Structure 1
Amino acid sequence: MSFEGKTAWITGSSSGIGAALAKEWASRGANIILSGRDEGRLSAVAGRLETETLTLPFDVRDSQAMSEAADTAIGWKDGIDVFVANAGISQRSPAVETAMQVYRDIIEIDLTAQIAATQALLPHMTGRGSGRLVFVSSIAGKVGVPMRTAYCAAKHGLIGYADALRGELSQSGIDVHVICPGSVATDVSRNALTSDGTKRGRSDEVIDKGIAPDDAAKRIVDAIELNQREIIVAEGMEEAMGEMRRTPDQLFDQVAGMVAKGYMEKMQAE
């Protein structure tokens, strides 16, 4: 498909993968809506894009602000063609030392808030009968990675929500994509939460030597254009681990077939 003239709304787009996705979609003619907490950084990203942009700064944990942003985004152009649930924060701490509040915070940001934003857009997209929902999970959403128990829980959960939603929407004209990046050269490790909820403040060598964000973004958008449902963007051992846990397309098709045969209507009638 062509993204020329389409509108893509990307959360967590002030840096990293989100900013790179904005640049990539803009290069393909899309209009871009940028969201994150820092209005100044969002404006800086917008200033580098050669397309029409709208900045909608808000904290994903603020449900009222998120709902208002969704209304503004829908009304900006002709609706939302692509929504990217990308906002998130990682973790670097052993479970035995990690405060429960860290689990609550990471799950709220990486999972619950992404679900809430999607739910706010679903009536709009189902009403139009078209759209793409893109969920940025992680290889850690497929494989349990030490020092990331909260992050893995949230990212596994995001894939579960996306896969179930894909089945429900399979007859609606809305496509659902799950992105599983491995190490990408961003500030994800530097911003990760430690056992007491403070930021780690330093990066990992594997992250620093990871895939360039622009390269990752191109791979992601290329795969979405090809309508791939689960997109692994990783190299080496991380790619191998992701491929070992890849969900077969046949299973996605089987679930869609259940919905086509009236599974949801039967469940609701019981």
Structure 2
Amino acid sequence: MTFKNKVIWITGASSGIGKELALQLSKFDCKLILSSRRQEILEQVKASCSNNKNIEVLTLDLANYKAMQNVTSKAIELFGRIDILINNGGISQRSPIIETDIEVDKKLMEIDYLGTVALSKAILPHFVTNQSGHYVVVSSVMGKFSSSYRSAYCGAKHALHGFFDALRLEHDKDNIKVTMICPGFVNTNVARNALTADGSKQGVQDDATQNGLHVTAFVKRMLKAIKREKYEAYIGRFEAFGVYVKRLSPKLIHKLVLRSKVR
């Protein structure tokens, strides 16, 4: 697979992984649609990109998942089609289960799961009509095994794998691809923006995220996985091997995560 002549829609494009995806993909001969809640920031990202005449900005709020049909229609109108949807938008969480308000769990599911699923379902008829389409979903290694203080986040990411594995099966006949990208620690603002027990932002970086992969290196590896149409890609440092340890021994990964004392 090549990115040449493709129309690629990126959610969560205003910062972090989404912004870096825009910067790197803009160097290819493709067209981009950049989405997030913040129009002004998206325009700044667009201005930073190469070939920005081939880039359009379209705001969306994943929490407003009932509006995805309308947003998708607008996205298709911009270039006449969509070839790849990169579901990158979302939020994280850092708080003990016993202290976490149920509204935090609800918000994580609404944004990370329902928003992504609603957008993906809205574009599905377009992919089926074209007998072609590629979903790229930024999950997490926490979608394959769990860690303390991330219960709502882990729950939402695990749910994404269940949904998109089913979608891949149902629409194999329609030549629709699904690539699940599972980052380990990547040095972005995801920890600073993570929700705490009462729904407020954590506001500070943690050591594991600070010492994670540089976002430029991460996105280079992510784009290779997309081009190869991999079903799943685990991209990180030592923490990415936890996926394989979980398959071998759930008890062992439990002990290893406890020892890591990641907060």
Answer whether TM exceeds 0.5 for this pair: yes
1:189 equivalenced with 2:191 (yes/no): yes
Q: Does residue 8 of structure 2 align to residue 13 of structure 1?
A: no
> Which residue of structure 1 lines up, in the alignment, with residue 209 of structure 2?
207
Per-residue CA shift, 1:140-192, capped at 9, x if unaligned?
11111100000000000011111111111111111101010000010000000
Q: Residue 2 of structure 2 corresponds to which residue in structure 1?
A: 2
Contact kept, 8 Å, 2:65 with 2:114, in 1: the verdict is no
1:2 aligned counterpart, secondary structure: coil
Q: Shift of residue 239 of structure 1?
A: 1.5
- Provide the aligned length of Structure 1 versus Structure 2: 246
Question: What is the DSSP-based 3-state SS (H/G/I as helix, E as strand, rest coil) of the residue aligned with 2:172?
Answer: coil
Partner SS state of residue 243, structure 1: helix
Q: In the aligned structure 2, how far is the partner of 1:44 from the partner of 1:111? A: 27
Structure-2 residue corresponding to 1:47: 47
Match of 2:245 in 1: 244
After superposition, residues 1-270 of structure 1 pair within 5 angstroms as: 1-51=1-51, 52-63=54-65, 65-236=67-238, 238-245=239-246
For residue 183 of structure 1, give the secondary structure of its aligned residue in structure 2.
Answer: coil
Hey, what's the Cα distance between the residues in 2 that align with 1:27 and 1:215?
Answer: 16
The Cα shift of 1:194 comes to 0.3
Percent identity over the alignment?
A: 39
For 1:25 and 1:144, locate their aligned partners in 2 and report how far apart those are by CA, in whole Å. Answer: 31
| SS of equivalent residue, structure 1 residue 171 | helix
| Partners of 1:24 and 1:245 in 2: CA distance | 33
Shift of 1:64: 5.1
Separation in structure 1 between the aligned mates of residue 120 and residue 224 of structure 2, nearest angstrom: 22
Which structure 2 residue ranges, 5 or more long, are not aligned? 248-263
What is the distance in 2 between the residues matched to 1:76 and 1:7?
Answer: 10
For 1:244 and 1:6, locate their aligned partners in 2 and report how far apart those are by CA, in whole Å.
37
In structure 2, what residue type is equivalent to 1:43? E
Deviation track 1:229-250 (CA, whole Å, cap 9, x = no partner) reads 10111111x111023347xxxx
Runs (5+) with no aligned partner, structure 1: 247-270
> Cα offset for 1:65?
4.0
Q: Work out the CA distance in 2 between the residues paired with 1:137 and 1:82.
A: 16
| Cα RMSD (Å) | 1.4
Amino acid at match of 1:124: H
Structure 1 length normalisation: TM-score?
0.88
Bigger shift: residues 60-69 or 157-166: 60-69
Give the secondary structure class of the aligned counterpart of 1:103.
helix
Distance 1:157 1:63, change over 3 A: closer
